[in-house]
Structure 1
């Protein structure tokens, strides 16, 4: 049984290019906005490289979205209180991790949050 397209969850690459294609009709313009070579963006689209993971904060900024949306597909409304700077530090450090390390951190973070919600 084939699921309707809207039921299938998007992954990070899908979310990146869904937004990039709307904002940058030409892939080379997206690459230029990120200040990288167009072949690198092509590798991401074809899933030949995961080097986009270390650029997630930059990609989010260029695409005018949040890191959270690119990683999870969920967009939370901003809190009423200003960020305490820890979030920016987390995002910066997270961007320096390998994709496997990022997955591990996300799994651990989700476990901590789930334990608090119980």
Structure 2
């Protein structure tokens, strides 16, 4: 699988419409369409931004391999959370983060 295929595999899982992905990146839907049709590789200069929007790493997009950073061990609950979170739209992710912050803040009081 190449970089473009990995990008759009994740795009298709996370976004109902390609236009939403374009909006999240701040690029035109036409540009994203050109990427998908392999008419442009301008996505390569946006790999870090694309990785961020798709909740993955640039390493994964470029190589297909994702390594857990040293010092982080993901137990089953963390992995489950990350998988579910990555399937949400950006608006839903913001809502979940706001709720989590509220729970943590209430716990500290």
Give the TM-score band, short-chain normalised: 0.5 to 0.7
Query: Aligned pairs, how many?
Result: 72
Q: Could you tell me which runs of 5 or more consecutive residues in structure 1 were left unpaired when the two chains were aligned.
A: 1-9, 82-118
The answer to whether structure 1 residue 54 and structure 2 residue 27 are counterparts is no
- Match of 2:9? 18
- Match of 1:45? 36
TM-score (norm 2): 0.64
**SS at structure 2 position matched to 1:55:** helix
CA deviation digits over 1:39-66, x for unaligned, max 9?
0000000000000000000000000000
Q: Which has the higher contact order (CA 8 A, sep 6+)?
A: 2
Q: Could you tell me which runs of 5 or more consecutive residues in structure 2 were left unpaired when the two chains were aligned.
A: 73-109
Give 1:73's match in structure 2, choosing from 45, 49, 64.
Answer: 64
- Match of 2:96? none
Distance 1:24 1:34 in 2: 12
Runs of 4+ more than 4 Å apart: none
Shift of 1:80: 1.6
